[in-house]
Amino acid sequence: MRTFFLGLALATSSALAQGSDDLDALQLADQAQIPVASASDWHSFVEVALGQAATPHGPTLAGQRLSFDLQFDQRFAPEWRAVFSDRLDLNRQQQPGQASVDKDVNTIRDAYLSWQPQAHQLLDAGRINVPYGAASGYNPSDYFRDYAVRSAVSVDPSSLKKNRMGSVMLRGQQLWDSGSLTALYSPQLAQQANAGSYHPDLGATNAQDRWLIAYSQKLPSSMAGQLTPQWLLQGGAHTHPQIGMNLSALLNDASVAYLEYSGGRSGSMLSQALQGKDDTVFRNRLASGITYTAANKLSLTLEYEYNGSALDDQAWDALRKGIKQGAPLPYLQYRQWQQNQQELATRQEVFVYASWPDALLQHLDLSAMQKLNLADHSRLYWLEARYHLEKLDLALQWQRNSGEASSAYGAALQKYSWQAQLRVYF
């Protein structure tokens, strides 16, 4: 793994020598962030995956997955548009000498109607996936991510953001040339999550009343170049309002820095997970990093992540020692709650991501990711090689979790795994 990242670093160093090509690299980065409009209202694919996973102290598990992915976005009247997005994963896992275990999971990502009475006004109603956040690995201002992932087919943060359930809400947007204002309300529709294969699971995404206001305004260029900060205010039943902010800035022709922040009064994660004593104070969460895109298309991202509501180093060690002392329940409750919330297990982590389109040969994309927990030094490694054909993708993914058994990443059920995928687009 270190050899792989070293290779990427060498590739970047070579590109750095080509300073005159930095402008081209920036243009490539900009192009990567702009969705490409499609002439078709329908997008669908079928994906077949085969793989193996090794548990820390158990046998190797063989897994197979068949997935159907559908996205539909059509304007059926001048002012009206319908959006539907769904994914069905048919999973099978088997240990040597035992019967297979089947688990089917359907995820409704979007299902809503959009009304556009005027060119700069939008009103949406239905189930909507609203991912917020400027950061890459950890998004403290992504307020609708908790309990939204039903089937994690990859640990890639972009996959987790995309392949999750939206929340049922009413959303209004006012747009103007240099900014936008968004307001949404998401009501409570159920109280308990339901893991049933084809259940809409409104108890996961709409377990309480929530609201959010987002405001973006481009600053005058004379003040700070082309900065367009986004300000968020989020609240709901039984929660204190949280302030969020997203900002990215161009450092030079090839480098972009970003900052994502969320703060407000809240209880600690341990108190919330164990339903313990109220310890509400003002707490901060943030993620900040820099992305450099070289002339050869290689992009490297380095990100620092902080969660002021998670356990500090001493409290994390104490919680882990409870397992050896015969009291594992608090640790298990904390980890389950933290994973459902998609939060950091401890205060600080470092995230590194590398993406190299058309690496070595055309249509071959390489990606690599490492997460490092700074409290227990456990790590998550992930690699992907993906080759694109006109209507076909071939991909190979590899993942490894390292660290002590009760560490942030060493406690994962899979020590390492690999998966080969074939995706056919229609």
Verify that 175 and 276 share a domain, yes or no.
no
Instruction: Report yes or no on 83 lying in a domain.
Output: yes
Each residue's pLDDT tens digit, 257-313: 999 999 999 999 999 999 999 999 999 999 999 999 999 999 999 999 999 999 999
Instruction: Report yes or no on 227 lying in a domain.
Output: yes
Instruction: Report yes or no on 51 lying in a domain.
Output: no
Q: Which pLDDT score is estimated for 59? A: 77
Verify that 222 and 119 share a domain, yes or no.
yes
Q: Which pLDDT score is estimated for 98? A: 80
The owner of tokens 């409570």 is 188
H helix or E strand, kind and range, residue 226: none
Q: Which pLDDT score is estimated for 326? A: 86
Instruction: Report yes or no on 277 lying in a domain.
Output: yes
Query: Which of these three, 250, 277, 299, is where a domain ends?
Result: 250
Name the domain count of the chain. Answer: 2
Could you give the CA distance from residue 229 to residue 81 in angstroms, rounded to a whole number?
29
Verify that 235 and 291 share a domain, yes or no.
no
Verify that 306 and 233 share a domain, yes or no.
no
Among 257, 253, 312, CA closest to 22: 253
Find residue 55's DSSP bridge partners. none
Verify that 413 and 316 share a domain, yes or no.
yes
Could you give the CA distance from residue 134 to residue 101 in angstroms, rounded to a whole number?
39
Domain span holding position 163: 68-250
Query: Which of these three, 215, 250, 285, is where a domain ends?
Result: 250
Verify that 244 and 277 share a domain, yes or no.
no
Verify that 420 and 296 share a domain, yes or no.
yes
Instruction: Report yes or no on 32 lying in a domain.
Output: no
Each residue's pLDDT tens digit, 29-68: 444 444 444 557 999 999 999 999 988 777 788 999 999 9
H helix or E strand, kind and range, residue 221: helix 221-224
Residue type, 3: T
Q: Which pLDDT score is estimated for 36? A: 47
Could you give the CA distance from residue 307 to residue 144 in angstroms, rounded to a whole number?
17
Number of Cβ within 10 Å of residue 180's Cβ equals: 16
Confirm if 285 and 349 have CB atoms less than 8 A apart: no
Q: Which pLDDT score is estimated for 21? A: 43
Verify that 218 and 304 share a domain, yes or no.
no
Instruction: Report yes or no on 26 lying in a domain.
Output: no
Verify that 190 and 292 share a domain, yes or no.
no
Query: Which of these three, 189, 218, 250, is where a domain ends?
Result: 250
Instruction: Report yes or no on 63 lying in a domain.
Output: no
Q: Which pLDDT score is estimated for 225? A: 60
Verify that 115 and 240 share a domain, yes or no.
yes
Verify that 240 and 310 share a domain, yes or no.
no
Residue 170 half-sphere exposure toward CB, CA atoms < 13 A: 4
Instruction: Report yes or no on 222 lying in a domain.
Output: yes
Q: pLDDT under 50 in the chain at which residues?
A: 1-37
Among 5, 3, 113, CA closest to 369: 5
Number of Cβ within 10 Å of residue 218's Cβ equals: 14
Verify that 243 and 140 share a domain, yes or no.
yes
Q: Which pLDDT score is estimated for 224? A: 52
- Interacting residues of 93 by C-beta distance below 8 A, sequence separation 6+: 61, 62, 63, 64, 100, 101, 103
